[in-house]
Structure 1
Amino acid sequence: MKKNLLLTLGTLVSIAISMPVFSKTNIKVGHGAADTYHMHKAWVKFKEIVEKESNQEITVDIFPNGQVGGDRELTEAVQSGIVDMTSPVVEVMSGWDNAFTVPGLPYIFPNREGALKALYGEFGNKLLEKAQNFGLEGLGWMENGIRNITSNVNCPITKPGDLKGVKIRTMQVDAHMDAFKAMGAKPTPMSFNEVYSALQQGVIDAEENPLGHIYSSHFYEVQKCVTLSGHVYSTHMVLANPDFYNGLSETNRALVNSALKRAIDYQQEVIAKEEQEQINAIRAAGVTVTELTPEQSAVFEKVVAPVREKYTEAVDPELIKALESVKN
């Protein structure tokens, strides 16, 4: 662990030192996703808009694929100013405040549309404001995706009982692990970069991720079935270093905000186009893809309801009130 930490710090320092000194504004963005993933494509769109509309007065350098570290390391790098912006899965922030657990609770949102409405309303704004308590500026939300289950055993998975005893990789998120325990599975948290080899070698039987990750990271190549369980809407929280963000001129800050909004809208266009193509490609590879019926989904939701209630009861009631107002 100490060695890995030193390596990560060394990477951060080397990037900071090796970056050229600009008389103009340079924005360093880091994230952990593959450069084929729709979230990376959103950052590329952000870069294109900012550089074009500033006439190259602002340049953007993007470090994808976890080059600078995982979500936690990147968040800390933004806090310290080594990186200017990042977009971790929001659950990473739960280490500072358990309110950030709420968006990633199982079946907390009815669907993607409901999730976006909540995140870009009072509920999401309250969470973005909380980031300021931890030396971060919350600027918006990029989609990670709707999480689904893949497996090599008990295929197809159509009910919670099919997961009994299944070793499934999850993120290091207590709520996610509790949910899969409630289904009878054996949740096994591990780094995202280790998942493919762990599936290939049989260290784990299954994993759960959005379609974009399942496809772009080729998990389907070492899995027999995919269940479109849609158990969690997973979102990235866009964060900036406050000194960097507040140090921008009013014009440049407005451009960053505008470019980010347009990049996020673009991401939704990419997702809409890619998802069906990804399902078709996964099926063409010989993998069984199962879409749950509303009745089957209701069984999963019922099993994990106590987990959802446990975590929502532990946070500010006003936050939950803001969330519920969107559903009504």
Structure 2
Amino acid sequence: MIRKLAIALGVAAVGFSTVASAETLLRIGHGANEQYHMHRALLHFEKLVEEGSNGEIDVQIFPSSQLGPDREMIEGVQSGVLEMAVSPSSFFAGWDPAFAVIELPYMYASKDIALKVLNSEAGDDMLARLNDQGVVGLGWLENGLRHVTNNVRPIKAPADLDGVKLRTMKVPAHVATFKALGANPTPMNFGEVYSALQQGVIDGQENPIALIDSQRFYEVQKHVSLTGHVFTVYIPVVSQSFFSSLSAEHQQLLRDSIAAAEAHQQQLVNSEEAGQLEKIKEAGVNVVDLSEEQRQVFSEQTKSVRAEYRDQVGAEAFDAWVAAVTANTGN
């Protein structure tokens, strides 16, 4: 996998051969397309880093899985073949089970609570665990609250998911969540989802509103149900060897620029999500906005998943995260 990534980086570098004046090259890989708010947040990061380093760092962003799927990019960062990747937090659970706690079903009562926890001491402690994976975690970027889309029926209660063939991320906790809800979860790489929906290979998928919009899933789906079942987040990680090669000033520049990119991303999300949802409705998609009571039924049915993952995550890490959620609820 790492060899394939190295070849991909080599091919990609040909197009940038004229940009060789910067002392340091920082290549970033991620899986979303260029319209997605996370990519645009990274463009803000690029601007801040290049200006803040007086052109000494040249940032190049490779969206849409150009450098391969997320696990392959993370492995590239671990080996030092790639400088930086921005991938969902759940992938890091493959090396450290504690990361699974972030994306468990109905862990947070709202997105605001999730963001408070991520930017608290508990979030900092979680990022510090990445040092044992050979990478440096710079911060957090939103992916968002995930919602269900499908072509079978509106989803208003767990029973409505019965037998629905639903694409999920290749994340065991997500698969377990939809098994508990009665669906037929089907893990699949992100880049394959649109065509699989179009061809009827799967009935539906689940993603945040901004991805349903930017990936145009609404073109091949009849129903969107605002289940808000999982809050997902990206972790921008940098190769330890690359990071240690930077001056202390440039290391801090990367951290500060990610924090500024996160704030910029929140402005984008808050200003655009309502319009994206309206666009989906105007395309003829039936949008079901679940009540708090309806979501609570989903939460109750996935309680067993949260209990199961307390054992897998480890009681200490799990309980510390739940304590942070409790501390930030109602603040």
- TM-score interval for Structure 1 and Structure 2 normalised by the shorter chain: over 0.9
2:53 is equivalent to residue 67 of structure 1: no
2:196 is equivalent to residue 219 of structure 1: no
TM-score, structure 2 as length reference? 0.94
The one-letter code sitting in structure 1 at the alignment partner of 2:9 is L
Q: What is the CA-CA distance between 1:90 and the residue it aligns to?
A: 0.8
Q: Which residue of 1 aligns with 2:116?
A: 117
Inter-partner Cα distance in structure 1 for 2:300 and 2:22: 57
Q: Deviations 1:77-108 (Å, cap 9, x if unpaired)?
A: 11122221111101111111111111111011
| Aligned partner of residue 108 in structure 2, secondary structure | coil
Inter-partner Cα distance in structure 2 for 1:120 and 1:23: 32
Q: Which residue of 2 aligns with 1:82?
A: 81
> Structure 1 pair 17/281, CA: closer, same or farther in 2 (3 Å)?
closer
Q: What is the CA-CA distance between 1:9 and the residue it aligns to?
A: 4.9
TM-score, structure 1 as length reference? 0.94
Q: Deviations 1:244-302 (Å, cap 9, x if unpaired)?
A: 11211111112111111100110011111111010000001000111100110000000
Q: Which residue of 2 aligns with 1:170?
A: 168
| Aligned partner of residue 313 in structure 2, secondary structure | coil
| CA RMSD of superposed structures (Å) | 1.7
Q: Is the 2:22–2:57 contact (alpha carbons within 8 Å) kept by the matching residues of 1?
A: no
Q: Which residue of 2 aligns with 1:248?
A: 246
| Aligned partner of residue 313 in structure 1, secondary structure | helix
> Structure 1 pair 79/287, CA: closer, same or farther in 2 (3 Å)?
same
Q: Is the 1:126–1:319 contact (alpha carbons within 8 Å) kept by the matching residues of 2?
A: no
Q: Is the 2:80–2:242 contact (alpha carbons within 8 Å) kept by the matching residues of 1?
A: yes
Q: What is the CA-CA distance between 1:322 and the residue it aligns to?
A: 2.5
Q: Which residue of 1 aligns with 2:156?
A: 158
Q: Is the 1:148–1:228 contact (alpha carbons within 8 Å) kept by the matching residues of 2?
A: yes
1:12 aligned to which of 9, 21, 29: 9
- Residue segments in structure 2 that go unaligned for 5+ positions in a row: none
Inter-partner Cα distance in structure 1 for 2:183 and 2:73: 30
Q: Which residue of 1 aligns with 2:46?
A: 47
Q: Deviations 1:122-162 (Å, cap 9, x if unpaired)?
A: 221222111111111111111111100001002x2100000
Q: Is the 1:28–1:61 contact (alpha carbons within 8 Å) kept by the matching residues of 2?
A: yes
Q: Aligned residue pairs: how many?
A: 324
- Residue segments in structure 1 that go unaligned for 5+ positions in a row: none
Identity of aligned residues (%): 43
Q: Which residue of 2 aligns with 1:30?
A: 29
| Aligned partner of residue 188 in structure 1, secondary structure | strand
2:136 is equivalent to residue 98 of structure 1: no
| Aligned partner of residue 88 in structure 1, secondary structure | strand
